């Protein structure tokens, strides 16, 4: 399975790059937009990744900012990639806009750190577990919608078997590992899947035991993104925190926000069982479910 480039990541990286280049050129947004025959709101939507700019507009902005040659061509190439359709677009009938952004970012993340206090993470779910989770969700779904959501979740997992898979670091609350989603048979198969996946070199699964105390009230995901190769002028790696809600999501990217969630993850990891003790505990849970 080859890696899949994400137009979502390309659009976001392009937005950050154009904003930083404008700042370096010392131009206010309104002035930069006026010089390329657009209004300030147009440039604001581009710099916030709300719209995909035409490559010709990107070329005009780069010329204005004094970026030429190979660097300019590298940015324009990313602008073209940002206009492509992602593989997940065929699930648009069941994929809300607020989650579309996350799927696109997850598809090209270099590292994914997640804490789950209620459920097994979607990237590690079995098909039967996912189906039971969707059927038991607080927002009712039709059977055909459930099956489409399950298919999307299973296809998302292909990122873990890509040529360059992300590092997946997971902390799962013990309550999530013991909650009978779908019944004992479904849950045993899910626990066995966690045990199996925990042996892979790019995946670490840690169990936060009841004995650790309260834990953290709320699941979250921290995504790291790889830098684009030179001569792209903006090669800095960046991060984002994703927090799911019932009717939407929060995307947090300010350094202080990311730092707070990173510190919380490190603390949860420190309170968790190590990899082997986690496997031992999961094996005991699996044995209990078998009886």
Residue 1 lies in a domain: no
pLDDT category of residue 2 using cuts at 50, 70 and 90:
very low
User: What is the per-residue pLDDT across 166-199, written as a single tens digit (0 to 9) for each?
Assistant: 999 999 999 999 999 999 999 999 999 999 999 9
Asked whether the predicted pLDDT for residue 104 surpasses 70, the reply is yes
- Domain-ending residue, one of 67, 82, 97: 82
Let me know whether 151 and 128 are in one domain: yes
Q: Are 131 and 212 in the same domain?
A: yes
Residue 181 Cα distances to 65, 171, 175, 216, angstroms = 55, 18, 11, 21
List pLDDT tens digits, range 82-98.
Answer: 888 898 999 999 998 88
Cβ atoms within 10 A of the Cβ of 247, count? Answer: 7
Which pLDDT does position 1 carry in this prediction?
Answer: 39
CA distance 260 to 65: 34
pLDDT in tens, 217-271: 899 999 999 888 888 887 565 899 999 987 889 999 889 999 999 999 999 999 9
| Residue 286: Cβ within 10 Å count | 18
Q: Which carries the bigger pLDDT value, residue 52 or residue 274?
A: 274
The stretch 38-66 carries a mean pLDDT of: 94
Mark whether 264 and 204 lie in a shared domain: yes
Whether 246 maps to a domain, the answer reads: yes
Across the chain, what does the average pLDDT equal? 92
Tell me which DSSP letter residue 126 carries.
Answer: -
**86 CB burial (10 A radius; 0-12, 13-18, 19+):** buried
Q: What does the block give as tokens for 131?
A: 């189906």
Residues 96 and 161 in one domain: yes
Tell me the two tokens of residue 261.
């969630």
- Please work out, in degrees rounded to the nearest 5, the angle formed at the alpha carbon of residue 115 by the alpha carbons of 179 and 250: 115
Q: Which residue has the tokens 């607020």?
A: 98
- The pLDDT of residue 176 is 96
87-94 contacts: CB < 8 A, separation 24 or more? 87/4, 87/155, 88/152, 88/155, 88/156, 91/148, 91/151, 91/152, 93/148, 94/145, 94/148, 94/149, 94/152
Residue 42: its pLDDT value, please?
Answer: 95
Q: Integer distance in angstroms from the first to the last C-alpha of the chain? A: 38
| Judgement on whether residues 54 and 159 belong to the same structural domain of the protein | no
Considering the domain architecture, whether residues 76 and 32 belong to the same structural domain is answered as yes
- Helices 69-82, 7-25: inter-axial angle, 10-degree rounding: 140
Number of domains in the chain: 2
Q: 205 and 110 share a domain?
A: yes
CATH of the domain at 267: 3.30.870
Q: Are residues 122 and 247 in the same domain?
A: yes
Mean pLDDT value of segment 94-110: 91
H or E segment and range at residue 173: strand 167-173
Q: Are residues 113 and 76 in the same domain?
A: no
Same domain, 22 and 105: no
Q: Is residue 2 part of a domain?
A: no
Rounded Cα distance, 125 and 189, in Å: 10
CA distance 44 to 3: 31
Q: What is the domain-level CATH number for residue 61?
A: 1.10.260.40
On whether residue 197 sits in a domain, the answer given is yes
Are residues 162 and 60 part of one domain? Answer: no
Q: Do 78 and 118 fall within a single domain?
A: no
- Which residues span the domain enclosing 189? 89-290
Stretch 46-57: mean pLDDT, rounded?
92
Q: Which of 55, 82, 109 is the last residue of a domain?
A: 82
Helix (H) or strand (E) run with residue 57 in it: helix 55-64
């Amino acid at each position: 399975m080859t890696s899949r480039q994400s137009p979502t990541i390309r659009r976001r990286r392009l937005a950050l790059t154009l904003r930083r280049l404008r700042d370096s050129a010392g131009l206010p947004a309104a002035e930069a937009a006026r010089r390329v025959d657009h209004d300030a709101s147009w440039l604001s939507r581009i710099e916030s990744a709300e719209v995909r700019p035409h490559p010709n507009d990107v070329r005009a902005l780069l010329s204005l900012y004094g970026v030429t040659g190979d660097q300019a061509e590298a940015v324009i190439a990313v602008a073209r990639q940002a206009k492509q359709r992602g593989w997940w677009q065929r699930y648009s009938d069941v994929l809300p806009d607020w989650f579309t952004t996350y799927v696109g970012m997850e598809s090209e993340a270099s590292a994914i750190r997640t804490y789950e206090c209620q459920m097994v993470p979607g990237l590690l779910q079995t098909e039967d577990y996912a189906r039971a989770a969707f059927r038991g969700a607080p927002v009712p779904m039709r059977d055909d919608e459930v099956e489409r959501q399950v298919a999307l979740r299973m296809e998302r997992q292909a990122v873990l078997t890509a040529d360059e898979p992300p590092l997946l670091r997971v902390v799962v609350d013990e309550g999530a590992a013991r909650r009978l989603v779908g019944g004992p048979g479904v849950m045993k198969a899910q626990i066995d899947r966690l045990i199996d996946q925990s042996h892979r070199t790019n995946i670490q699964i840690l169990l936060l035991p009841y004995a650790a105390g309260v834990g953290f009230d709320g699941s979250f995901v921290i995504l790291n993104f790889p830098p684009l190769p030179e001569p792209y002028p903006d090669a800095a790696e960046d991060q984002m925190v994703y927090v799911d809600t019932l009717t939407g999501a929060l995307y947090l990217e300010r350094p202080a926000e990311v730092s707070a969630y990173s510190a919380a993850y490190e603390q949860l990891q420190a309170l968790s069982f190590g990899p082997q003790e986690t496997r031992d505990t999961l094996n005991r849970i699996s044995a209990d479910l078998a009886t």
